[in-house]
Amino acid sequence: MDRKMANRKLIRLSQLKSKLTAENLEEIDWVTFGVIVKKITPQSANNGRTFSIWRLNDLRDLNQCVSLFLFGDVHKEHWKTDQGTV
């Protein structure tokens, strides 16, 4: 893990919003992680394609969640991922 994180900055999901306004994250090699705390039943878009919505949290602040929308091949590959997965 140390090798993979070398020269990277960990930003917790609960800090992401404040970091986006305070720092230029495009110039930083950063990573984050989250747990799927809620999955919405797959939905159909106006174009007829199916997508998923996951609510992610870093378990530090349960009031701070990030919604992740999965479309196309990503949806097809990952829509069955279990809630609780990191």
Whether the full predicted model's pTM is greater than 0.75, yes or no, is yes
Q: Let me know: does 11 contact 32? Beta carbons within 8 Å.
A: yes
The pLDDT tens digits for 7-63 are 999 999 988 888 888 888 888 899 999 999 999 999 999 999 999 999 999 999 888
pLDDT of res. 61:
86
Tokens of 61: 């602040």
pLDDT of res. 62:
87
Inform me whether the pLDDT recorded for 80 exceeds 90: yes
- Can you list the domains of the chain with their CATH numbers? 2-78 (2.40.50.140)
In this structure, how many other beta carbons lie within 10 angstroms of the beta carbon of residue 29?
10
**Confidence at 84, pLDDT banded by 50, 70, 90:** very high
Q: Is the dihedral of CA 54, 59, 62, 63 positive or negative?
A: negative
Q: Let me know: does 36 contact 81? Beta carbons within 8 Å.
A: yes
Phi, psi at residue 39, to the nearest 5°? -120, 130
